[in-house]
Structures are given as structure tokens and as C-alpha cells.
């Protein structure tokens, strides 16, 4: 699994960090970023839920 956040799309709603705080955080501008070393999802089942919860679909979850 490979997770990425498109900060050009992110509106800083914070749903991802609320849903899967082990993987997502918000930077100083309030935009989402993947925590360092957690790009593989850290085995969290909440990652997909976070991606679904994002209102602007800024989170990409790729398999492999
Ligand atoms: S849920 Fe989406 S819009 Fe909100 S902070 Fe996360 S990536 Fe950005």
C-alpha cells in the first residue's frame, strides 16, 4: 500500500487526521500530510476509511 495526499486539492478539512491519526497529520497550513515513515499505511485499516472520508478525494491509496 502506498498513500499520498495531493495538497493542491486538500482543503484542510482534517477528516483524515481525525480518522487515522496514526498515518495522517496536518502541517502548519492545516493541509494534510502523511506522517514520515507511514506512507505504507502502517497496517492501519482506517486508511481506506480516511480516504473515503476526505470530502475532496485528495487521498490516493495505491496497492503494491
Ligand atoms: S480529509 Fe482531505 S481535505 Fe481534509 S485534511 Fe485530509 S486530505 Fe485534506
pLDDT in tens, 3-53: 999 999 999 999 999 999 999 999 999 999 999 999 999 998 999 999 999
The confidence score (pLDDT) of residue 64 equals 75
Residues 6+ apart with CB under 8 A from 22: 35, 38, 42, 44, 46
Q: Is the separation of the CB atoms in 43 and 6 below 8 Å?
A: no
CA of 26 to the centre of ligand 1 (A): 9
Report CA-CA distances (Å) from 17 to 1, 11, 34, 64.
18, 13, 9, 23
Global pTM value:
0.94
Ligand 1 contact via 56 beta carbon (within 6 Å) = yes
Amino acid at each position: 500500500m502506498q498513500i499520498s495526499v495531493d495538497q493542491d486539492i486538500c482543503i484542510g478539512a482534517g477528516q483524515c487526521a481525525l480518522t487515522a491519526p496514526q498515518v495522517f497529520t496536518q502541517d502548519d497550513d492545516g493541509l494534510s500530510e502523511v506522517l514520515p515513515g507511514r506512507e505504507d499505511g502502517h497496517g492501519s485499516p482506517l486508511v481506506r476509511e480516511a480516504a473515503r472520508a476526505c470530502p475532496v478525494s485528495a487521498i490516493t491509496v495505491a496497492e503494491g
